[in-house]
Amino acid sequence: MTTQLEPTAPSPASGAVPAPAGTAEDAVLAVARRAKVAARSLATATRATKDAALHAMADALVDAADAIVAANADDLARGREAGMSPGLLDRLALDPTRIGAIADALRELAGLPDPVGEVVRGQTLPNGLRLRQLRVPMGVVGMIYEARPNVTVDAAGLALKSGNAVVLRGGSAAASSNEAIVGVLARALEAQGLPGDLVQSIDAWGRQGAVALMHARGLVDVLVPRGGADLIATVVRESTVPVIETGVGNVHVYVDASADPAVALPILLNAKTQRVGVCNAAETLLVHRDAAEGFLPSALTALAEAGVTLHGDARTQELAPADVPVVPATEHDWATEYLALDLAVRVVDDLDEALEHIRTWSSGHTEAIVTRDLAASERFVAEVDSAAVMVNASTRFTDGGQLGLGAEIGISTQKLHARGPMGLAELTTTKWVVHGDGHVRP
């Protein structure tokens, strides 16, 4: 079976982790077994224990920043040589400032409530049985992702706080960075008296290792793919382990007839240009025809000055200033998650047409409306079927940290178990605890 997991990543090269002897399947199953054993150590771990470990991991990352940046430089060099896009290179890049921010995210996790043991609901039945439904860890969480070394840390921290072990497949593009990071985190855990096997990588076994992870049903409790559409589709199609599907971000900003241009323009620029290589960046702008003439010329100029290549419909092209080039948009543009300084632009006749466009082309991630019309905003919220809907706010807020959840393991665009930013609670399941006093069923 040929499995395409990293369509944009370079092939393993010098500096990538060499594959150990033995089959990938045997090696990955051994990793998963160690993870399952290690997860038991967290079954009775107190919040204080887990929080101390998170702080230790954060401190260790900062202390090892120079070594991590050096390893990351190898990954970046291979990526540039392989023609990786600027957006993916940005996702891959680490520097001391980014490492500090990643470490701070671990410290923020330590400040959040522990979800394990939370009583979801409970009652005492008429027959005297006392019921509680409690949050409990999943057990072993698998992650398959690409060119995102920050996810290595986020996944490890979220897994630890929610009582899980994690097995990571971060891909050849970030192999050197992830090897360094996982080593730092494992040593920090061991220094705190916890098993280093709570955080493990299977990057050394390449794509065959990823396939083995997808088939490790019974050892891995849930698998979370995070990356491009091809990677996610492959994991969903091939995995026998239950999958929480994260989605690509074909994200829309709709500027309604009543929108204040002074509010709409900063939202649009932030949504598109603040960071382009992320799933919550805007990819399509829809503008109501009654707002188009007053908003689009200045908006297109500002976007062009920010380096954005514009792909517009006929009405957008007519309204564009003479010195602002607009490429004719096609259906391919409406369907594309650019992850680059490109934006598709369309003028719509009304809210109905905007909603229909979103229903047709959205990936179900995040959509935003800019409006002063309460009825329009309420209808947009009710009819847009996406994981997150923004009213007069940038799409860039669809993020676990920005929404107060701490770091996230991904943005789920499915509707089962978890939807939207997946924080601590989304990495738990529940169990029923029933207390009786000699009760038997009649």
Q: Find tokens 């029923």 and name the residue.
A: 432
Residue 286 in tokens: 């829809």
Per domain, the residue ranges of the chain are 24-246, 251-399
Q: Are 88 and 80 in contact (CB under 8 A)?
A: no
pLDDT at residue 218 tops 70: yes
Q: Is the pLDDT of residue 423 over 80?
A: yes
**CA dihedral in degrees (263, 266, 272, 276; nearest 10)?**
-140
1 has pLDDT over 70: no
Confidence category of residue 10, pLDDT binned at 50, 70, 90: very low
Structure tokens at 362: 């959205």
Task: In whole angstroms, give the CA distance from residue 5 to residue 169.
Answer: 11
Tell me the average pLDDT across 140-154. Answer: 93
Contacts 24+ apart (CB under 8 A), 384-391: 384/355, 384/358, 385/359, 386/358, 386/362, 386/413, 387/247, 387/411, 387/412, 387/413, 387/419, 387/420, 388/280, 388/420, 388/421, 390/366
- The pair of three-digit structure tokens given for residue 210, joined into one six-digit string: 């990823």
DSSP-derived secondary structure letter, 192: T
Residue of 156, 143, 193, 179 lying closest to 5 (CA atoms): 143
Region 251-399: CATH code: 3.40.309.10
What is the rounded distance in angstroms from the CA atom of residue 345 to the CA atom of residue 327?
10
CA dist., res. 126 & res. 105, Å (int): 46
Q: What is residue 9's predicted lDDT score, i.e. its pLDDT?
A: 36
What does CATH list as the number for 24-246?
3.40.605.10
CB 317 within 8 A of CB 330: no
Question: Where residue 387 falls among pLDDT bands split at 50, 70, 90?
Answer: very high
pLDDT given at position 268: 98
* pLDDT greater than 90 at residue 406: no
pLDDT at 245: 83
Which region, left, alpha or beta, applies to residue 343 given φ > 0 means left and ψ of -120 to 50 means alpha? beta
Environment class of 430 (CB within 10 Å of its CB; exposed 0-12, middle 13-18, buried 19+): middle
> Quick check: 40 pLDDT over 60?
yes
Measured over the CA atoms of residue 341, residue 342, residue 346 and residue 350, the dihedral's sign is negative
Does residue 52 register a pLDDT over 80? yes
Q: For residue 356, which amino acid is it? A: E
Identify which of 93, 134, 98, 96 has the alpha carbon closest to the alpha carbon of residue 115: 134
pLDDT at 417 > cutoff 50 = yes
pLDDT at 58 over 60: yes
Average pLDDT over residues 382-409: 91
Task: Please check whether the two domains, 24-246 and 251-399, share a CATH topology.
Answer: no
For residues 380-394, average pLDDT: 97
Gap between the Cα atoms of 157 and 188, Å rounded:
12
The predicted pLDDT at position 5 comes to 52
pLDDT digit string, tens, across residues 280-320: 999 999 999 999 999 999 999 999 999 999 999 999 999 99
Q: Is the pLDDT of residue 14 over 60?
A: no
Question: Does residue 426 have a pLDDT over 60?
Answer: yes
pLDDT (0 to 100) of residue 17: 43
More confidently predicted of 205 and 1 = 205
* pLDDT tens string 128-141: 999 999 999 999 99
Q: What is the rounded average pLDDT of the residues 19-33?
A: 86
Rounded CA gap, 215 and 241, in Å? 6
> What are the tens digits of pLDDT across the range 87-131?
789 889 999 999 999 999 999 999 999 999 999 999 999 999 999
Chain segment 268-288, per-residue pLDDT in tens:
999 999 999 889 999 999 999
Q: How many residues are recorded in the chain?
A: 442
Tokens linked to 211? 């396939």
The pairing of strands 342-348 and 388-391 is unpaired
Asked if pLDDT for residue 220 goes beyond 90, the answer is yes
Give the C-alpha separation, 51 to 89, whole Å: 32
The predicted structure's pLDDT at residue 303:
98
Question: Taking 60 as the threshold, does the pLDDT of residue 13 lie above it?
Answer: no
The reported pTM is 0.82
Calculate mean pLDDT across residues 39-66: 96
pLDDT bin (cut points 50, 70, 90) of residue 405 is confident
Quick: pLDDT tens for 314-361: 999 999 999 999 999 999 999 999 989 999 999 999 999 999 999 999
Report, in angstroms and rounded to the nearest whole number, the Rg of the chain calculated over CA atoms: 23
Residue 392 CA to residue 370 CA, distance in Å, equals 5
As a whole-number percent, the residues of the chain with pLDDT over 70 amount to: 95
